[in-house]
Structure 1
Amino acid sequence: MASDETSDDWYDDDSLWVDFAPAMFSGTRAETVAELVRTAPLLDFPPGSRVLDLCCGPGLFLVPLAARGYRVTGVDLSPAMLERAEAACRAADAGPADVTLVREDMLTYTAPDAYDVILNVFTSFGYFEDADDNFQVLRNAWQSLAPGGRLLVDVMGKEVLAGWIGRPQAVDLPDGSYVVQRDTVLDSWRRLRTDWTLVRGESARTASIRSFLYSAAELHDLFVAAGFADVECFGDFDGGPYDQSSRRLIVRGVKK
């Protein structure tokens, strides 16, 4: 299990995930994910595949993956998000035989040869201040995959971000509050800081998320350096090319 000691790392602040969950993990997004898992070619795995959702959050992918007959594990550092993932599984009657939840840090979590597929979605890669730590996450994934297993990482690619970054964006929430998101590119396009402001009545809560930015070429080369073969870049889970019309960057590699 991960340490319970206090941390200054932004991602280790459970209140951030709780407060901003309605914007990050909305009901609409959950419906979109469920449809994606049912239909997307890149999420079509052999029956009974052992699938790890690394940084699973509140479990948006877990239930639809289990519904497809995969043996699913969700790993996350946040106790609050794991509680929500457990509640989502319970509500969908996805019990321990279908989904296993583990509290661990992706920087240190390994389970040698335990999985056929590892997913890391919703731009959950690149959180660490040290580039070598982010690379270690890829190495951990390589070690945790069985031979022939696949890693899929889903991020906001540098090229995609460059096409729309600009004015702050506002998201209205069901309870009448709203979130304002402001993105700032740092360190000559190596990093991104996203500032979130939650406005509820007369109060405001702010938080900042910092992560590395990757182009398709950069993330592709990191996969190769981590030991992956047959590395490919896609613009969505439908398997389309990563090009000027893409809204996401998905990189897939195979452990030979």
Structure 2
Amino acid sequence: MLSWFEEWFNSPYYKILYKHRTEQEAALFLNRLIAKYKWPKTCNMLDLACGEGRHALFLAQQNYCVTGIDIASNSIQKAREQAKLNRLSSNSLNFVVGDMRQPFGQQQYQVIFNLFTSFGYFEQQTDNLTVLHNAHKALLPNGHLLIDFMNTHKIVANLVPHETKMIDGIYFEIWRYLESGYIVKKIAVSEPNSGKILNFYERVQAIYPDDFKELFAKSSFKTDNLFGNYNLSDYDSQTSERQIWVLKPL
């Protein structure tokens, strides 16, 4: 049986629902990080849970050597197509189908990105530590791990229990609720031709800053910075949109 993320991320409706995520948004965010941390050109970077590769593609265009890993084979195929369209060679950009719970390298990356709430998907709490241990092993000693996660405090306080959306002629009905330490989103999609209703789920652990700090301590990471949005403003538990953790291995 497929996990919720394998089923949903391989669905064409996932891309439609989140089509508001733009390459421009990704570029602005990454440019700010590059300006702040001044990572050397041609260094190796990993986009962990890369989706269709919008962040990895941009980084490769800035002359970084980038690998993108994602569990959704459909997303990896589209990412490879985009790399080909942009004439990016396999020397600078590679996309691989993979599970972040499996090892993905040994001291080979200057930076590992885990962006747009691509953490906390699993049923076993120990899987979070497995992912972090894998990242620690894959980083160079002076490298950075960057985790971009929702601001759980704000999301929980302002949870919208029900909404509907019409996007590209497709009707989405969405329910949100808390369940056993997870933020759950149920998504009902009405197919435009058949009228058939398809049900999908997102089930992400409600990880608060103190939870992250405990995970980082157990996986031998120290916090270099905690930002609250893509402008790299300071984090505020009540008002920030994101938890953007920049970590260094101990």
Q: Name the CA distance, whole Å, in 2 between partners of 1:193 and 1:16.
A: 18
**Residue of structure 2 equivalent to 1:76:** 70
Unmatched segments (≥5 aa) in structure 1: 1-6
Q: Name the CA distance, whole Å, in 1 between partners of 2:30 and 2:164.
A: 28
**Residue of structure 1 equivalent to 2:189:** 198
Amino acid at match of 1:45: W
Give the one of 27, 31, 35 matched to 1:38: 31
Structure 1 residues 251 and 39: CA distance shift in structure 2, 3 A: closer
Can you list the C-alpha shifts for 1:184-220, whole angstroms capped at 9, x where unaligned?
1112xx2111111222333322101212111112112
- Higher mean alpha-carbon deviation, 85-94 vs 197-206, is at 197-206
**Residue of structure 2 equivalent to 1:247:** 241
**Residue of structure 1 equivalent to 2:92:** 98
Report if aligned partners of 2:8, 2:14 keep a CA contact under 8 Å in 1: no
Amino acid at match of 1:84: K
Structure 1 residues 227 and 164: CA distance shift in structure 2, 3 A: same
Give the one of 216, 221, 225 matched to 2:218: 225
Q: Give the fraction of aligned pairs with identical amino acids, expressed as a percent.
A: 24
- Higher mean alpha-carbon deviation, 26-35 vs 193-202, is at 26-35
1:1-256 equivalences under 5 Å are: 7-13=1-7, 16-24=10-18, 26=19, 28-40=21-33, 41=35, 45-173=39-167, 175-187=168-180, 190-201=181-192, 202-243=195-236, 244-256=238-250
- Higher mean alpha-carbon deviation, 145-154 vs 222-231, is at 222-231
Amino acid at match of 2:41: P
Q: Name the CA distance, whole Å, in 1 between partners of 2:21 and 2:183.
A: 26
**TM-score under structure 2 normalisation?**
0.90
Q: How many residues are treated as equivalent by the alignment?
A: 246
Q: Name the CA distance, whole Å, in 1 between partners of 2:118 and 2:127.
A: 13
Unmatched segments (≥5 aa) in structure 2: none
Deviation at 1:163, TM superposition (A): 3.4
Q: Name the CA distance, whole Å, in 2 between partners of 1:102 and 1:17.
A: 18
Q: Name the CA distance, whole Å, in 1 between partners of 2:219 and 2:62.
A: 30
Q: Name the CA distance, whole Å, in 2 between partners of 1:250 and 1:239.
A: 8
RMSD in angstroms over aligned alpha carbons? Answer: 2.0
Deviation at 1:113, TM superposition (A): 0.3
Q: Name the CA distance, whole Å, in 1 between partners of 2:151 and 2:14.
A: 22
